[in-house]
Structure 1
Amino acid sequence: MSARASWVTGADGSGFGIHHLPYGVFRVGAGEPRIGVRIADVVLDLAGAEAADLVLAGGALCQPTLNTFLALGAPQWTAVRQRITELLTDPAHRAAVEPLLVPLDQVRMELPFEVADYVDFYSSEQHASNVGQIFRPGQPPLLPNWKHLPIGYHGRAGTVVVSGTPVLRPQGQRPSKDGPVFGPSARLDIEAEVGFVVGVPSPLGSRVAAADFADHVFGVVLVNDWSARDIQAWEYQPLGPFLGKSFATSIAAWVTPLDALRHAYVAAPEQDPQVLDYLRDEPHVGLDLRLTVSWNGERVSEPPFAGMYWTPAQQLAHLTVNGAALRTGDLYASGTVSGVRRDQVGSFLELTWGGAEPVTVGGTERTFLVDGDTVTITATAPGPDGATIELGEVTGTIRPAC
């Protein structure tokens, strides 16, 4: 179906046009947080729209976070989206809706949903192979289980922060030739990822099939899973990531609904050996999201999400196969997105090959992050009729350790 033209100035041709309509939570001045949807460079105040009976969602859009709305489920998500589209395209609604549009430069964005649990996967074969070569030289880059299940770990939901929040340099134990030392991380890194936001929960003891992915997952956010590589390298064996990952994970302020990505599905990479039955997803598809990583405003990498070995549906199926319950507001991330070329990797660990091959940023040779550095991750996806969707960016600036 063709996207209708919007009467909102600047919407047509925008990556945040009528074909997108991502959700977020905003404040104006000292006001209370309000749910909104972005179109072009304005935010439609959905709390105001529901209070005026322009949109019906049982009061879910009048809440301070998206969680109540997320729990309503796919039929209601689609109905609300259709109504918002009608409001922003039919000139008959302009007089009622236009007073509810707030310019982006007048708002402060908040964390869009209360994060229930956070899980991070490790689903790029290229990234896993690169890290294996860097951390375990002389050994097989992929461990024997990697192509049989989506590897993941549980993170800290309480340290998920909205885009723009400063990131304090973490401190912890680091290895040295004389044994462990304590202090600020000297190898602070990024991980460019894609996150999936769960709306509809599942009962403890049940499984969610890969085929039911869209019944539970509301939408997508860009993620930067900041990583302290020196802390990580010292602590991660035998139980995996801990303090090297848990100090901050940044997510975009705007959640792109799955309904907006219907034109972005592409065939996922072939999986060999064949996966177990519960991981088979038909159709076996990923998303054609094209990420860009900018370091102090300079583009350094363009990771392609379409090449991820494990799909979001498979990740969800594995996450729940042991009976673990889903909760509204659960966030699970793809793991670092990396392609086959050096300019397609999603971490500076890979970009500089563990710091051994510096890159030039701003005329200076660089390896890992220094205080004051800013990293911004953006992404695009195909929309209807050749349109382009721009996902909400995730950005953060490093501040000195306390």
Structure 2
Amino acid sequence: MLQKRLWFFRRWCHCSSPFVQLLILTVVTFGVLAPLACHRLIHSYFFLRHWHLNPMSQEFLKQNQEEGQAALHYFEALQAPNSSEISGAEALRPRLLVTIITVQRRNEFHYVLQVASHFHRLLQKCGSGCQNYQIFLCNVDMDPSSHQDVQLLSKFFTTVNRYRNEEDPEASVNQFEKEKQDYAFCLEQSLLAYKPEYVLLVEDDAVPEEDIFPVLQHLLLVRLSKPHLRNALYLKLYHPERLQHYINPEPMRILEWFGMGMLLGPLLSFMYSWAFGRPAVSWLIIFFFFVYTMALAELVGRHYLLELRRLSPALYNLVPVTECCTPAMLFSAPSAHRALYYLKKLYCRQGFAKDIALYSLLRPQGERAYVVEPNLVRHVGMYSSLRLNGNPKLL
């Protein structure tokens, strides 16, 4: 029975036209297989938003709250270093200073504890390669003593407060300008307190990926030795996954998209011809698989293809930066001084937040900046410190 079915299949393959075969392949791929495989992938076009978004958002919030409690227990069980160990660490000039900017919000999630615990654990795991890396905490809450998570973390890390309890920021300063000023304050204090070679400025809802330090070591030792990268104004370590598709304003992605089609299109064409016993490969079949590959990659989601680069730090990509967002930014000491000089001349407002302000500086000042792909941090803060969002969603 099986031999008979194989015989019919081979005979059908031999007799049917390539048009029919490729039409069936298209229908099966985009109408059946891809939707079944990707309907729960949130950054795919096949994602069934109405079915999955609400329960996935609630599950994410629940898991994030549990991770916040785990981070709280992590520091409660951790033995605080003595004052001599802290002062000894401050005396050393770190190669990399990880500065965490924090403001109080939704205490049950303990965002800053999640970020700090991950960085602390990964530094211990990194070993001797990260001996001259330090963590610095910058509290920009207007009532610093009420930020209980910072009170706990100050036992383990050097902490600076921007405001005193009796002080208020200028009444005329809007929330976006205040955020920019807070950002500049933390960057400046990082340079003054430690004089590091590099500053990684991290917002308190940007949890680092497991491979962040091996990748940063590769970037600092290998990639940033090149002049055009060494002189960059900043390296961005996060770009929202929803904005990582090929069909986007960034022209480099279009080139990457076409390159993938040109590589896989001929390969799939030869595999098709071999499987169906075709004597030669026509240009029309190569063109079909060129379009087929590009369409499948875009619809499944470029974000998931980028994840393959995590196999090795050398596979991470650096591409020209886009304007959104600032959860994690790497500055060299000279570029940090330039960024501070530029930011002091800009006034932020709604529609012109600090991320857009930093991006707007590049062309007028003749600066360059890059983004690392894939992301080196996860943005977990669904409750914004700038915008009211009582019922947050993952998208």
Q: What TM bracket, shorter-length normalisation?
A: under 0.3
- Taking structure 2 as the reference length, the TM-score comes to 0.25
- Select the structure that is richer in helix: 2
* Greater strand proportion: 1
Rg larger for: 2
TM-score if structure 1 supplies the norm length? 0.25
